[in-house]
């Protein structure tokens, strides 16, 4: 029969502990909440009342239920108060020696049958367990931040955790309304092992001024649909905690350089910039503990006028190409009121592109998103041509031809001859160096990358890629154009993968490596990222949608340019591509799609 948990203890009421108290108390379980001092106890209590008051204000919790919830919590300083609880969850800072000391003490204080659990993110549960005389009753219960919201719990069993204890904790998770995945004791478990390399990489981008904090975060939110950007997430996790997790993962996880904490993190921790909890991290918050970001000296100042930033006026736009991206981009510009000249390599191709744009606009009309008059006006703004000469008087050219450097270079050389001076020449390349294309012209200062996402009419993000030769006016023009299109333009340097792909694909590749190592299943890994981190799709779902061949090609590019050993494509990914398992498009990738 499953064990009854009528009272539990939570040790450490910081970012995680206070949330864990709420999870138990909400589900009718009595909680003894323990801190190290009265002041820390008060902080934990304030966090809990703040959170439950917000739930009441939002109509998610009745006042009476809030009062009952709060009455279930017994606030205490010191571990001695835990003598009669059935389970303890420890959520003190991520230091092995501290956790071991606490577990030795818990072993002494708690009743013999009590389960002792740690919420550690990266330390070895096994090493923590051997500080007690009951390692078979020690387990990892890893909640996600914020604990009351995130559905996932990683249950971590060591080689000595008894099967009963695992089953009892799994049943408890279900009672708490959580989804659990049970895994072995490995640094970072599932979610953090996949998350922290990405977070550290994003901090590295910020540290090296590759892109601004706002642009890095907007890129991942809008380009991948993530609930928050990586730097905002670092602030939520807490930079001190994130540092310790990275440091432990580096040491325990095979000294992967991608987990060696970016030096800026340590500097910020030393300076007391811990994130939300201290009121300042990558962003500045209204006050310590507040989720509300307030402007600071790094907040971009809106001048109110793009022309004041040196942006050039753009009225007429040339779009070169006849594929999916070109078609979408023509539609985007025409709908936004620009005159558009579409150039393809022949009348037949032009007719096809014209038809595709019409079909897409008509869909907008059917869905009630576009009036017939606006559709006709948009189409009326486009002229269809098969010769580049018609680009002589445009203000901006967007190139969206095949992803081959020689073809793009030849095209840019032609554009250089045809276009009037002062025109901004943009490439939509997603993997080639923009500088190579720029140097095919005599005017590299006017060349910029405009990386639209597919489908262009829907995706809100554009990466604006500036090379070392791109002028400030060109970048300002690109920004102004993106704003006029109703898109968010994020500016970044000219490196493989720009922002989104450079941060996304190594994470996907890591998921494949995790599967290959048989640490977990594709289903559990997908669950972990969706329910633990709020990702819209798990890595294997996304790989099957993007295409394994496309993913492999991008990962290879990243590896070749950055020479980062951890970016080496997962052998399993290569094998699947070789076998023709390319994802949805071929009917099979990580999953079989033929019967779905
Ligand atoms: N922050 C996250 O996003 C996150 C997510 C999942 C798991 N975790 C893990 O949860 C644990 C706690 O992390 P956090 O971010 O909540 O840390 P935190 O710094 O926000 O809170 C730690 C709390 O522990 C208290 N504490 C320290 N020593 C104590 C003692 N001897 N007895 C009682 N209380 C003591 C501190 O006063 C503090 O309030 C870590 O193991 C971390 O890896 C963190």
Known active-site residue 509: no
Q: How far apart are the first and last CA of the chain?
A: 39
pLDDT for 595 beyond 80:
no
| In the chain, % of residues over pLDDT 90 | 95
Determine the residue of 11, 14, 155 to mutate for testing ligand 1's pocket, defined as the one with the most ligand atoms within 8 A of the Cβ atom. 14
Structure tokens at 69: 């919830």
Note the pLDDT of residue 253: 78
pTM: 0.93
pLDDT for 64 beyond 70:
yes
Q: Following DSSP, what letter does each residue of 461-517 receive, concatenated?
A: EEEEE--TT--HHHHHHHHHHHHHTT-EEEEE-S-TTTTHHHHHHHHHHHHHHHHHT
Neighbours of 422 (CB within 10 A): 12
Q: Following DSSP, what letter does each residue of 336-390 receive, concatenated?
A: TT-EEEEE-SSHHHHHHHHHHHHHHHHHHHHTTSS-HHHHHHHHHTEEEES-GGG
Q: Measured from the CA of 145, which atom of ligand 1 is nearest? A: 3
The secondary element (H helix, E strand) that includes residue 53 is helix 38-57
pLDDT for 304 beyond 80:
no
Instruction: Work out the widest C-alpha separation in the chain, in whole angstroms.
Output: 85
What would the pLDDT profile of 306-341 be if each residue is shown by its tens digit?
566 789 999 999 999 999 999 999 999 999 999 999
Tell me the β-bridge partners of 462: 452, 489
Note the pLDDT of residue 452: 96
Q: Is 318 in the pocket of ligand 1 (CB under 6 A)?
A: no
- Residue nearest ligand 1's atom 28 by CA: 92
Q: Mean pLDDT over residues 417-431, rounded?
A: 96
pLDDT for 368 beyond 70:
yes
pLDDT for 503 beyond 90:
yes
Please state, in angstroms and rounded to a whole number, the distance separating the CA atoms of residues 323 and 401.
7
Torsion of CA 355, 360, 362, 363, to 10 degrees: 150
Known active-site residue 154: yes
Name the strands in the sheet holding 73-77, side by side, starting at the edge strand that comes first in the sequence. 73-77, 30-35, 7-11, 87-90, 115-118, 138-143, 152-157, 179-184
Q: Measured from the CA of 245, which atom of ligand 1 is nearest? A: 43
- Residue nearest ligand 1's atom 44 by CA: 16
Note the pLDDT of residue 203: 98
Residues with Cβ within 8 Å of 434's Cβ and at least 6 positions away in sequence, in order, are 427, 447, 448, 449, 465, 466, 467, 470, 494
Q: Which residue of the set 51, 119, 121, 501 is catalytic?
A: 121
pLDDT for 55 beyond 90:
yes
Q: Is 449 in the pocket of ligand 1 (CB under 6 A)?
A: no
Separation in Å, CA 189 to CA 103, 120, 140, 141, 519: 21, 10, 10, 11, 9
Note the pLDDT of residue 106: 98
Q: Is 268 in the pocket of ligand 1 (CB under 6 A)?
A: no
Instruction: Give the closest residue to 568 by CA, choosing from 202, 262, 210, 256.
Output: 256
On whether the CB atoms of residues 248 and 254 are closer than 8 A, the answer is no
Please state, in angstroms and rounded to a whole number, the distance separating the CA atoms of residues 490 and 556.
24
Note the pLDDT of residue 344: 97
Neighbours of 202 (CB within 10 A): 27
Backbone φ and ψ for 406, nearest 5 degrees, come out as -60, -40
Backbone φ and ψ for 428, nearest 5 degrees, come out as -95, 15
For the chain, what is the radius of gyration of the CA atoms?
27
* Three-class HEC string of 97-151: HHHHHHHHHHHHHCCCCCEEEECCCCCCHHHHHCCCCCHHHEEEEEECCCCCCCC
- Residue nearest ligand 1's atom 32 by CA: 36
What would the pLDDT profile of 17-34 be if each residue is shown by its tens digit?
999 999 999 999 999 999
Note the pLDDT of residue 202: 98
Instruction: Give the closest residue to 373 by CA, choosing from 340, 381, 383.
Output: 381
Q: Is 187 in the pocket of ligand 1 (CB under 6 A)?
A: no
* Cis upstream peptide for 288 (omega within 30°): no
- Residue nearest ligand 1's atom 9 by CA: 120
pLDDT for 111 beyond 70:
yes
Q: Mean pLDDT over residues 152-180, rounded?
A: 97
pLDDT for 596 beyond 80:
no
pLDDT for 431 beyond 90:
no
Q: Is 16 in the pocket of ligand 1 (CB under 6 A)?
A: yes
pLDDT for 520 beyond 80:
yes
Residue in the block written with tokens 């739930």:
55
Rounded distance from Cα 249 to ligand 1 centre (Å): 17
Structure tokens at 508: 């996907």
pLDDT for 303 beyond 70:
no
pLDDT for 305 beyond 80:
no
Mean pLDDT of the chain: 96
On whether the CB atoms of residues 2 and 168 are closer than 8 A, the answer is yes
What would the pLDDT profile of 173-231 be if each residue is shown by its tens digit?
999 999 999 999 999 999 999 999 999 999 999 999 999 999 999 999 999 999 999 99
Separation in Å, CA 160 to CA 91, 136, 137, 168, 231: 22, 5, 8, 15, 37
User: Counting beta carbons within 10 angstroms of the beta carbon of residue 37, is it exposed (0 to 12), middle (13 to 18) or buried (19 or more)?
Assistant: exposed
Task: Tell me the pairing of strands 396-399 and 87-90.
Answer: unpaired
Residue in the block written with tokens 């492999």:
552
The answer to which of 97-106, 138-147, 199-208, 250-259 has the lowest mean pLDDT is 250-259
Q: Is 19 in the pocket of ligand 1 (CB under 6 A)?
A: no
Q: Mean pLDDT over residues 270-287, rounded?
A: 97
Note the pLDDT of residue 4: 87
Q: Mean pLDDT over residues 130-140, rounded?
A: 98
Q: Is 552 in the pocket of ligand 1 (CB under 6 A)?
A: no
Note the pLDDT of residue 171: 97
Known active-site residue 192: yes
Note the pLDDT of residue 302: 73
- Residue nearest ligand 1's atom 11 by CA: 91
| In the chain, % of residues over pLDDT 70 | 99
pLDDT for 2 beyond 80:
no
Please state, in angstroms and rounded to a whole number, the distance separating the CA atoms of residues 145 and 221.
18
pLDDT for 261 beyond 90:
yes
Instruction: Give the closest residue to 208 by CA, choosing from 559, 497, 493, 557.
Output: 493
Q: Mean pLDDT over residues 162-182, rounded?
A: 96
pLDDT for 260 beyond 90:
yes
Known active-site residue 22: no
- Residue nearest ligand 1's atom 41 by CA: 120
Q: Is 12 in the pocket of ligand 1 (CB under 6 A)?
A: yes
Rounded distance from Cα 216 to ligand 1 centre (Å): 27
């Amino acid at each position: 029969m499953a064990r009854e948990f009528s009272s539990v203890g939570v040790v450490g009421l910081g970012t995680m502990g206070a949330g864990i108290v709420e999870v138990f108390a909400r589900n009718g379980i009595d909680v003894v909440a323990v801190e190290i001092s009265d002041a820390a106890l008060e902080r934990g209590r304030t966090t809990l009342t703040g959170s439950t008051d917000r739930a009441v204000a939002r109509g998610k919790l009745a006042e009476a239920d809030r009062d009952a919830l709060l009455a279930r919590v017994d606030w205490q300083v010191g571990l001695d108060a835990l003598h009669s609880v059935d389970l303890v969850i420890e959520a003190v800072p991520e230091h092995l020696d501290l956790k071991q000391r606490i577990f030795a003490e818990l072993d002494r204080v708690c009743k013999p049958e009590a389960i002792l659990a740690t919420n550690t993110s990266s330390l070895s549960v096994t090493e923590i367990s051997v500080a007690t005389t009951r390692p078979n009753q020690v387990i990892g219960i890893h909640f996600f931040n914020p604990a009351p919201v995130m559905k996932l719990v990683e249950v971590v069993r060591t080689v000595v955790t008894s099967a009963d204890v695992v089953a009892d904790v799994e049943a408890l998770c279900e009672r708490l309304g959580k989804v659990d995945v049970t895994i072995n004791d490995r640094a970072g478990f599932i979610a953090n092992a996949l998350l922290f390399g990405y977070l550290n990489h994003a901090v590295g981008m910020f540290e090296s001024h590759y892109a601004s904090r706002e642009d890095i975060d907007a890129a991942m939110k809008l380009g991948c649909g993530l609930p928050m950007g990586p730097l905002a997430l670092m602030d939520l996790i807490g930079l001190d905690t994130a540092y310790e997790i990275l440091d432990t993962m580096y040491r325990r996880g095979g000294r992967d350089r991608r987990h060696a904490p970016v030096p800026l993190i340590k500097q910020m921790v030393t300076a007391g910039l811990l994130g939300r909890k201290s009121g300042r991290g990558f962003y500045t918050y209204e006050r310590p503990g507040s989720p509300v970001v307030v402007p600071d000296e790094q907040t971009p100042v809106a001048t109110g006028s793009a022309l004041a930033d040196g942006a050039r006026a753009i009225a007429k736009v040339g779009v070169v190409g006849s594929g999916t991206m070109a078609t979408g981009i023509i539609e985007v510009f025409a709908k936004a009121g620009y005159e558009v000249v579409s150039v393809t390599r022949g009348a037949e191709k032009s007719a096809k592109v014209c038809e595709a744009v019409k079909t897409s606009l008509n869909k907008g009309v059917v869905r009630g998103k576009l009036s017939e008059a606006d559709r006709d006006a948009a189409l009326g703004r486009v002229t269809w041509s098969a010769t580049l000469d018609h680009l002589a008087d445009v203000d901006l050219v967007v190139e969206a031809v095949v992803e081959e450097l020689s073809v793009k270079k030849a095209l840019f050389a032609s554009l250089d001859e045809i276009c009037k001076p002062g025109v901004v020449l943009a490439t939509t390349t997603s993997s080639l160096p923009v500088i190579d294309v720029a140097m095919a012209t005599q005017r590299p200062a006017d060349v910029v990358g405009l990386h639209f996402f597919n489908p262009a009419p829907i995706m809100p993000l554009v990466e604006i890629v500036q090379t070392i030769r791109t002028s400030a006016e060109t970048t300002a023009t690109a920004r102004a154009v993106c704003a006029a299109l109703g898109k968010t333009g994020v500016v970044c340097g000219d490196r493989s993968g720009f922002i989104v792909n450079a941060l996304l694909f190594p994470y996907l590749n890591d998921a494949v490596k995790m599967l290959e190592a048989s640490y977990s299943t594709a289903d559990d890994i997908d669950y972990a990222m969706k329910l633990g981190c709020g990702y819209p799709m798990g890595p294997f779902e996304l790989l099957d949608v993007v295409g394994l061949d496309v993913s492999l090609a991008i990962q290879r590019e990243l590896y070749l340019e950055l020479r980062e050993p951890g970016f080496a494509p997962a052998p399993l990914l290569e094998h699947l591509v070789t076998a023709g398992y390319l994802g949805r498009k071929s009917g099979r990738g990580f999953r079989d799609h033929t019967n779905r």
